[in-house]
Amino acid sequence: MAGADFVEKHLLAGKTAIITGANSGIGLEAAKDLAGKGARIVMAVRNLQKGNAARQEIIGRHPQAQVELMQLDLTDLTNIRFFTERFRSENDSLDLLINNAGVMMPPYTKTKDGFELQFGGNHLGHFALTGLLMPLLNNTPFSRVVTIASLAHNRGKIDFDNLDGSKGYKAKKFYNQSKLANLMFALELDKKLKEHGCQTISVACHPGISATNIFKLGKRDAPKFLRNAANFYLQPPEMGALATVYAAVHPSLTGGEYIGPDGKGYRKGYPTLETPHDAALDAAVANRLWEVSEKLTGVKFDFDNYK
């Protein structure tokens, strides 16, 4: 799977892709790549000012690109519903949804709906977004959902008795949990799509160890010295984004795959097929996580009515 040129330029012409967190890091690099391949990009971002600067960067590289901005706050279920209602009112198809946005190891913080920030934003927000967009996805031939996980999933555990962190909070533990939830969601989604005869596929991926602005203090950027150190030692975002682009467009994928870098420890390199940690393959936990996520978000996936 080595190499970045696995899809010819303009092969995605006429196709629409929503990318959450597309204003920086992996999301921005993926948006640049897909825009260059002809896709219409909808940048779903919390901060429109930062989003517009990123949009101008993409257009500067690809002057003919179709790039739009829409405001989306994945830590607010009301805002997620507003976003999806607006998008569905203006579009009758959706080829690609990339669940990319995320926050890493903030101090203990809750979302507007009372969820712990990492579990709420990284997982529950994307769960709700995907469910609300699923009618459009399933009505679009060859559509895909790509969810960004992390190597950290292999140290994660879903603590159903303390999802909100009220019984104790450790930032790294809750980050690991959220990324395990991302991966379990992606795999379980593909399983359910296939079981119900839906044509949409779900693929998971991870960027290896990449230097992005995911390092946050709450919703504030980490100190500049920390970001500079990350940029020096870690894989650059444009390399980290290759797994996302591969998962999004490669014609060989049929759903349920997990894509990441091919280098030592899967930390750096070009896209390759990987095997999730056993923790992500626990069917009982995945099913319970799905049921809890539907209950917490109020979003149910009505697969039988998607066909």
Residue 84 covered by a domain:
yes
Residue 188 covered by a domain:
yes
Sheet holding 258-261, edge to edge: 66-71, 40-45, 16-20, 96-99, 144-148, 201-205, 258-261, 271-273
Residue 3 covered by a domain:
no
Contact between 47 and 234 under an 8 Å Cβ cutoff? The reply is no
Distance CA 214, CA 221 (A): 8
Length, in residues, of the chain = 307
* Crossing angle for the helix pair 125-138 and 171-195, to the nearest 10 degrees: 20
Within a 13 Å sphere around the CA of 271, how many CA atoms are in the beta-carbon half? 25
Residue 9 covered by a domain:
no
- 17-66 per-position pLDDT tens digit: 999 999 999 999 999 999 999 999 999 999 999 999 999 999 999 999 99
Percent of the chain past pLDDT 90, that is, above it, reads 81
Distance CA 72, CA 93 (A): 19
Residue 6 covered by a domain:
no
Higher pLDDT, 2 or 287: 287
Residue 283 covered by a domain:
yes
Tokens coding 199: 């044509």
Q: What is the pLDDT of residue 220?
A: 53
How much is the mean pLDDT over the chain? 91
Q: Quick check: 155 pLDDT over 50?
A: yes
| CATH for 103 | 3.40.50.720
The owner of tokens 């209602």 is: 85
Query: Could you tell me the pTM of the whole model?
Result: 0.91
Handedness of CA 254, 203, 15, 62 (dihedral sign): negative
Residue 148 covered by a domain:
yes
In terms of phi and psi (left: phi > 0; alpha: psi -120 to 50; beta: otherwise), the region of 40 is: beta
**Domain of 214?**
16-305
Strands 216-217 vs 201-205: parallel, antiparallel or unpaired: unpaired
Tokens coding 18: 């929503």
Contact between 201 and 144 under an 8 Å Cβ cutoff? The reply is yes
Q: What is the pLDDT of residue 140?
A: 96
Looking at the DSSP bridge assignments, the partners of residue 99 are: 147
- 239-289 per-position pLDDT tens digit: 989 999 999 999 999 999 999 998 777 778 899 999 999 999 999 999 999
Span 154-168, average pLDDT: 97
- For 116, the 3-state DSSP assignment is strand
Residue 5 covered by a domain:
no
Q: Quick check: 232 pLDDT over 50?
A: yes
Higher pLDDT, 145 or 265: 145
Confidence of residue 227 (pLDDT cuts 50, 70, 90): low
Q: What is the DSSP letter of 222?
A: P
Distance CA 62, CA 67 (A): 10
For 270, counting Cβ atoms within 10 Å of its Cβ (0-12 exposed, 13-18 middle, 19+ buried), the class is: middle
Contact between 261 and 234 under an 8 Å Cβ cutoff? The reply is no
- As annotated, the active-site residues are 175
H helix intervals, the chain: 25-36, 48-61, 77-90, 117, 125-138, 171-195, 224-233, 237-240, 242-249, 283-297
Span 178-182, average pLDDT: 97
Q: What is the DSSP letter of 19?
A: E
Backbone φ and ψ of 273, nearest 5°: -80, 130
Q: Into how many domains does the chain fold?
A: 1
Span 210-229, average pLDDT: 53
